[in-house]
Amino acid sequence: MIGPVSTLFQLPGWVDLLFALIIGVGFGYALEQGGFSSSRKLAGMFYGYDTTVLKVFFTAAIVALVGAQLLGFFGLLDLNLVFVNEYYVNASLVGGVIMGAGFIMGGFCPGTGVCAASIGKTDAMVYLLGGLTGAFLFAETWPLIGPLALKNYRGPVKINEVLGISPELFTLLLILAAVAMFWLAEMAEKKFAREEIPRDGEGYPPAGS
């Protein structure tokens, strides 16, 4: 595996793996400190009483997008070399439904599930076991579901290209959409507010009181 660090500074390939490990641990720590190891917080996105997930990940996406475009503008990043996921229409639709259903029922996504399991949460461990089981079944049934998954292939397409607008205009529209969604999220949290549930026994009265 040859990545940016080893390529730029002529270092061994394992250095990239070390950087990936450090970044991964840091990301997991940030998730846990932000409360994303709690299935209540994550499920709250679907019920409207806690929209932290929307705010955090939408903000991260916008910061990354704006940062990449600024780096490209100043000649520090070649945007043509940035990897773009290939788009399979059928697989995205079916997979999105399955992922969303698993998210709301289990209260975790794969990343937050690993985060919660790493601090010993049993529900997250069961969730990850279910995910591994699903991956195994996906691989074993590939001859049957492969034609459906590969159908309607569109290639590494970008949304702004589909809409026929420039990347800069798309970024502006995305920021405006984020502002509107954040406003709606605040309204939802007020409308569907719930009493905060104590974590790990905190806030409960002493036994016998």
Name the pTM for this structure.
0.72
Q: Which of 164, 160, 178, 165 is nearest to 62 (CA)?
A: 178
Partners of 87 in the β-ladder: 155
Per-residue model confidence as pLDDT tens digits over 86-136: 999 999 999 999 988 888 888 898 888 998 998 999 999 999 999 999 999
pLDDT band, very low/low/confident/very high, at 203 (cuts 50, 70, 90): very low
**Alpha carbon distance 6, 37 (integer Å):** 33
The tokens describing 144, both together, are: 């049957």
Instruction: Please write the tens of the pLDDT for every residue from 12-28.
Output: 778 878 888 998 889 88
Residue 198 lies in a domain: no
Q: What is the pLDDT of residue 3?
A: 52
Residue range of the domain that includes 127: 14-191
Helix pair angle (122-140, 89-106), 10° resolution: 150
66 found inside a domain: yes
Classify residue 206: in a domain, yes or no. no
Please give the pLDDT value at position 204: 40
Number of domains in the chain: 1
